[in-house]
Amino acid sequence: MQNIYILGIESSCDDTSASILCNNHMLSNVIANQAVHTEFGGVVPELASRAHQQNIIPVIDTALKKAGINKKELNAIAFTRGPGLLGSLLVGTSFAKAFSLGLEIPIVEIDHMQGHILSHFIQNEEGNKLIPEFPFLCLTVSGGHTQIVLIRDYFEMEVIGQTIDDAAGEAFDKIAKIMSLPYPGGPFVDKFAKEGNPLAFTFPKPSIQGLDFSFSGLKTSFLYFLRDRLKEDADFIEKHKADLCASIQYSIISVLMDKLTKAVKKTGIKQVAIAGGVSANSGLRNAILKMQENSGWTVFIPEFQFTTDNAAMIAIAGYFKYQRGEFAGQSAIPYSRGASKQKK
Ligand code: KG4
Ligand code: ZN
């Protein structure tokens, strides 16, 4: 069988990433994080697109060098078309188009959220990694999305539950901001939570019907709780940082796990994956592993490098589309929102 080399490009938010895959094996995955946003406590779209513009060529060049291949060996270029920040997506999309014209190879457009899910299909070097079989469920939790997706085939995905307000990662980040932790706050909450008691403080659970999620109430009750405590003790956050992080993390994970359990019961599907930035969270990883031990689920937990945004997930999705001959035209333009694109 002839080897297929795919270049994946991811530029939907604030990470510029390029990855080379040989079939379903990863040869390189280079990610340039943008430090420029830290002082603003969030991503500044205008600065993000400028940083992508600066990073994209060196990142792709490094990905090719690390993979040890020449650009002329590439079979196709896969790029994130959406959802994400338009100015950021335009950089990756335009670069992919220009590069494909120069190399005379096709381009493949990828939905970012489908990429997160399909990262589970990147095989390890030994070729012995357990890969999900269809159908399976995936809890896709990132800074912009929180979804439960039923995956029937590589590109046959149905969103069966989603957030009606904030995403889980957004909830982590906003809560961290309230505690004056750096941006993005999710990894800091996770770090401090390891030293704390998850039952030290309780926060009201949102009561949303069905498989949908809501996190804005949790964030507000955390804010009011702290406002009251800070009136009595100005050092409350500093003194109780670990317990606060552990308790709020526990609350977020409980919401996620309750809905995921409901989805398993409703669909009868016990193969369950997690994906997206929040799937790096140690509490969530432990909670889903427990379901494997206690409830007979077969769970799929991504390697850390495939949790937050990366181009390897775009390249693997590109590999599957390449095999189907599904190529994009030069007129393909980015989209900022795209839950409907999940259904194909
Ligand atoms: O998938 P991702 O890199 O970007 C989007 O597509 O949004 O996800 C980023 C999100 C951020 O909100 C970040 O705080 C969160 O993932 N995150 C975490 C952890 N690592 C990243 N949240 C909780 N615990 C973590 N360890
Ligand atoms: Zn993402």
Other CB atoms within 10 A of residue 94 CB: 16
Tokens 């357990």 belong to: 130
Q: What are phi and psi of 129, to 5 degrees?
A: -75, 135
Is 29's pLDDT higher than 70?
Answer: yes
Q: Can you tell me the mean pLDDT for 144-167? A: 97
What is the per-residue pLDDT across 106-136, written as a single tens digit (0 to 9) for each?
Answer: 999 999 999 999 999 999 989 999 999 999 9
Instruction: Give this prediction's pTM.
Output: 0.95
Mutate to test the pocket of ligand 1, among 16, 308, 336 (most ligand atoms within 8 A of CB): 308
Question: Cα 150 vs. chain centroid, distance in angstroms?
Answer: 16
Structure confidence at residue 341 (pLDDT): 43
Structure confidence at residue 253 (pLDDT): 98
Q: Which residues line ligand 1 (CB under 6 A)?
A: 13, 142-144, 169, 172-173, 184-187, 190, 276-278, 280-281, 308-309
Q: Can you tell me the mean pLDDT for 224-229? A: 97
Strand partners, 25: 22, 123
Closest approach atom of ligand 1 to CA 173: 14
Structure confidence at residue 36 (pLDDT): 82
116 CA to centre of ligand 2 in angstroms = 7
Structure confidence at residue 42 (pLDDT): 82
Report residue 38's pLDDT band, with 50, 70 and 90 as the boundaries: confident
What strands lie across the sheet with 298-300, from one edge to the other? 156-162, 146-153, 136-141, 271-275, 298-300
**Token digits for 3?**
């080897």
Q: How many residues does the chain have?
A: 344
Structure confidence at residue 198 (pLDDT): 98
CA distance 33 to 22: 25
CA distance 5 to 75: 5
308 CA to centre of ligand 1 in angstroms = 6
By DSSP bridging, strand 76-82 and strand 146-153 are: unpaired
Percent of the chain with pLDDT over 70: 98
Instruction: Return the residue whose CA atom lies nearest to atom 23 of ligand 1.
Output: 186
306 CA to centre of ligand 2 in angstroms = 10
Structure confidence at residue 337 (pLDDT): 86
Structure confidence at residue 340 (pLDDT): 40
Percent of the chain with pLDDT over 90: 91
Ligand nearest to the CA of 190: 1
Is 330's pLDDT higher than 80?
Answer: yes
Q: Can you tell me the mean pLDDT for 94-111? A: 98
10 CA to centre of ligand 2 in angstroms = 9
Structure confidence at residue 125 (pLDDT): 86
CA distance 276 to 163: 14
**Token digits for 239?**
């003194």
3-state SS class at 152: strand
Is 62's pLDDT higher than 70?
Answer: yes
Alpha helices for the chain (secondary structure H): 45-67, 86-103, 112-118, 168-178, 186-193, 216-232, 236-267, 282-295, 312-324
3-state SS class at 177: helix
3-state SS class at 184: coil
Strand partners, 31: 17
Structure confidence at residue 111 (pLDDT): 98
289 CA to centre of ligand 2 in angstroms = 22
**Token digits for 153?**
């085939």
Judge contact between 154 and 176, C-beta under 8 A.
no
Structure confidence at residue 178 (pLDDT): 96
CA distance 341 to 290: 32
Report residue 146's pLDDT band, with 50, 70 and 90 as the boundaries: very high
* Choice between 206 and 61, residue whose per-residue pLDDT is larger: 61
105 CA to centre of ligand 2 in angstroms = 26
Judge contact between 8 and 24, C-beta under 8 A.
no
Ligand nearest to the CA of 286: 1
What is the per-residue pLDDT across 283-297, written as a single tens digit (0 to 9) for each?
Answer: 999 999 999 999 999
Report residue 44's pLDDT band, with 50, 70 and 90 as the boundaries: confident
Mean pLDDT score across all residues of the chain? 95
Report residue 39's pLDDT band, with 50, 70 and 90 as the boundaries: confident
Task: Of 12-16, 64-68, 87-91, 251-255, give the lowest mean pLDDT range.
Answer: 12-16
What are the CA-CA distances from residue 286 to residues 15, 52, 279, 282, 292 (Å)? 27, 34, 10, 6, 10
CA distance 262 to 246: 24
**Token digits for 306?**
């495939």
Q: Can you tell me the mean pLDDT for 267-296? A: 98
Closest approach atom of ligand 1 to CA 176: 14
Structure confidence at residue 344 (pLDDT): 34
Q: Can you tell me the mean pLDDT for 65-88? A: 98
CA distance 16 to 309: 9
CA dihedral over 318, 51, 175, 163, signed as positive or negative: negative
